[in-house]
Structure 1
Amino acid sequence: MIFDKATWESFAEGFTVYDVAISSPTRFWLELVEQTDSPHRDPLPRTRFLSVNLKKPLGERFYFHEFGHFRFSQLAFNKGARVEVVAVDLGGHVYCYAADGDQEESRIATQLEGSDLVSAVTGIFRIQESLYAVATDRRIFQRVNPGEWREITKGVGGIPVDKRSLTGDAGMNFGFRSISAFASEDVYAVGGEGDVWHFDGTRWTQLPFPSNELLYTVCCAGDGNVYITGNMGSLWVGRKDRWKRLAQGTFSVPFKDTAWFAGRLWCGSDYGLWVLQDGKLEVPDQPAAVRTACGVIDISPDGTTMLTASPTGAALYDGNKWELLFSNSAFAVPSEKASERQQLGRGGERLTTHDGMQELLDVIGNDGPEASLHALADPAKLDLPALRAHSWLLLVNAISAQSGWAEYSQVVNRLVELGADPDAIEQESGLTPRALAQSMGLPLA
């Protein structure tokens, strides 16, 4: 774990992970967003950009800059002429962390010419040794210098402004959410309703695409193919004017990130990670503790390390071994009554550690279905109110474990019998155990 209790409380407690950026296995950044009770984000939750340097001792490895006006920001690391990590939000606000300091820079100028309307910045991406911010209304901005962005989709060979942008009637029909490239003269940008464009080094061209579904990510992969994900997690493969659907959209949320790593395509969402294997999206082989710490993705510039995170944790993968960086369940607040309770756990030991039933989670995550069913056998030895209060954690762990043991379906059903709620909602992501089971093609009572 990269945190101890004291550093967790100082730097991450009360926040969830929204995005990540990585330089190396020991140097990365986390975008943390404050947990609030307001369903309408009013006032805006605080956004904290946390720098992590694992080469430094525990007391010196963390630094953060916090803002109250950033909304749905994304991070990107760049190791070009200037080594930096840059965050942009929907409103074009920019934060930069570099060797010479960190600061908020001037906003990206997104006002549309001939209109009072502005485009929303939907993401930031590293291509080769440059950073690009993509936006609605089919706009892309290249970072030239600190505080300076150049719009590369305007001018000769650019993308004409659609009249609907100037009247405010564009909606979600078109505009960009993602960009990727094989080279500076072979760039793909996607978004909107089947809105796919290609840049050949001179001119942007709209490509025919066989669906008008909403598109979210694009990845120019190491196998020479372009992969595009769409609404509800659909997956397409192709290039130029030839596209084939590999997976129907069966999830309740789209993928947030796609990346080519260790010779395979990885897709991340609020549900976790999927990997393309033999033409199908499969749940990767992961330790149970890591499985719920995955979602958004970034790859180190040298291509050797993948950093991934869910709202509640983060992990590293080098292509062979997974490393859990942290999970917020490790810092659950102990209950004053926990030491007085007698609850069956591993080997008949007492569950006395947390209201969050950490020991039961440990059994479900590590000891297999037989031990899990044994721990759940006698309701009289369980704290049923605590079990019901932590339905989400218990069920998600058991559902995730089914990728390794089919018998875990019995554990899931037993939890539901004991009162665990399959429709419990995780506040930040909106994910329910039932939706996770659905996304994995698993039955749920």
Structure 2
Amino acid sequence: MHAPVLDGARLRVAILVSAVLVTLAPLGGCPQPAPSDDSAQDQPAGDAPAKTFTWYSAFNPQNVGALSAVWGSSASDIFVVGGTFDQGEVYHFDGANWRAMEVPSVPLLVWVFGFGPDNVYAVGVGGGVVHYDGGKWTALDSGTKDDLWGIWGRAPNDMWIVGGKTGEGEPVLMHFDGVTFTPVPVPPNDRDATALFKVWGIGSKLFAVGERGLILSYDGANWSQVPAGAD
């Protein structure tokens, strides 16, 4: 597949821009007026000026599939994934310009995660997994045809992937050590959930969330269901 040329009318990606409100200095050495309410009086001295944030459209998309996830290693290294059900798409932002990247023939990509500009993964529909090494994207054999909805890792040799088909089968949970995808048994759940959508961790703990309010927790040895109020 050849990467199409991306111009300003091809892609809409929301970029967060912060505009700092500048406080005007008092004129002629006149003292500033006293605060008019209690909340202003409680404002600690020396606080930074307030900030506002404005979203704006960077591009107007035409003939572009859905855009489903974004990840970046820096402000000049941003990856956006998506596509159509027949073909995944990846776009890259270098801090100034967007470009469409050439990707293998894989279906829709729904999530992206990486460790740096030369080590990025994306997962998607039909068990699709692709890897970027800083030069090109390569398709990997995940060993499943089930949809994959999320990927996260502590290190390039310690990654987790979740997925499944809503309404049928069992949730998909896999560990990836950078070479081999290993299916991990999902504990029985009392919600009849058949898909996990996202996974994330901190310290030695991992959490995976999915269909019908399902939450799973990993303590470094075992996965177990976490009681949740969501249905």
TM-score when normalising by structure 1: 0.34
Going from structure 1 to structure 2, the CA distance change for 1:321 and 1:230 (only over 3 Å counts) comes to closer
Match of 2:111 among 209, 217, 220: 217
Aligned residue for 1:180?
A: 71
SS of aligned partner of 1:227: strand
Aligned residue for 2:208?
A: 308
- 1:309/1:315 contact within 8 Å kept: yes
Note the C-alpha offset of 1:208: 1.5
Going from structure 1 to structure 2, the CA distance change for 1:175 and 1:144 (only over 3 Å counts) comes to farther
1:85-134 CA distance string (max 9 Å, x none): xxxxxxxxxxxxxxxxxxxxxxxxxxxxx9xxxxxxxxxxxxxxxxxxxx
Alignment of 1:107-126 (within 5 A): none
- 1:297 and 2:191 are equivalent in the alignment: no
Single out whichever of 242-251 and 211-220 deviates more from structure 2. 242-251
SS of aligned partner of 1:232: helix
Aligned residue for 1:260?
A: 153
Alignment of 1:80-119 (within 5 A): none
Task: Count residues with an aligned counterpart.
Answer: 178
Partners of 2:93 and 2:144 in 1: CA distance: 31
The residue identity in structure 2 corresponding to 1:190 is V
Note the C-alpha offset of 1:311: 2.5
- 1:236/1:245 contact within 8 Å kept: yes
Partners of 1:277 and 1:144 in 2: CA distance: 38
Note the C-alpha offset of 1:183: 2.2
SS of aligned partner of 2:113: strand
Going from structure 1 to structure 2, the CA distance change for 1:284 and 1:214 (only over 3 Å counts) comes to same
TM-score when normalising by structure 2: 0.60
Partners of 1:138 and 1:249 in 2: CA distance: 33
Aligned residue for 1:276?
A: 176
Greater share of strand? 2
Note the C-alpha offset of 1:177: 0.6
Match of 2:141 among 247, 265, 268: 247
- 2:119/2:134 contact within 8 Å kept: no
Alignment of 1:331-410 (within 5 A): none
Note the C-alpha offset of 1:240: 4.4
Note the C-alpha offset of 1:288: 4.9
Match of 1:326 among 207, 227, 231: 227
Note the C-alpha offset of 1:285: 5.4
Match of 1:142 among 16, 23, 27: 16
Give the gaps of 5 or more residues in structure 2.
1-8, 20-50, 165-170
Question: What is the root-mean-square deviation in Å for CA atoms of aligned residues?
Answer: 3.8
Identity of aligned residues (%): 21
Partners of 1:257 and 1:217 in 2: CA distance: 6
1:146-199 CA distance string (max 9 Å, x none): 994423x62xxxx5x34x3xxxxx4xx424111112222222111113321112
Partners of 2:12 and 2:182 in 1: CA distance: 32
Note the C-alpha offset of 1:273: 1.6
Alignment of 1:14-93 (within 5 A): none
Partners of 1:149 and 1:309 in 2: CA distance: 31
Partners of 2:181 and 2:111 in 1: CA distance: 15
Alignment of 1:152-171 (within 5 A): 154=58, 159=59, 161-162=60-61, 164=62, 170=63
Partners of 2:142 and 2:222 in 1: CA distance: 30
Note the C-alpha offset of 1:278: 5.6
Note the C-alpha offset of 1:298: 4.3
Partners of 1:318 and 1:143 in 2: CA distance: 38
Going from structure 1 to structure 2, the CA distance change for 1:237 and 1:288 (only over 3 Å counts) comes to same
- 1:138/1:175 contact within 8 Å kept: no
Partners of 2:149 and 2:172 in 1: CA distance: 10
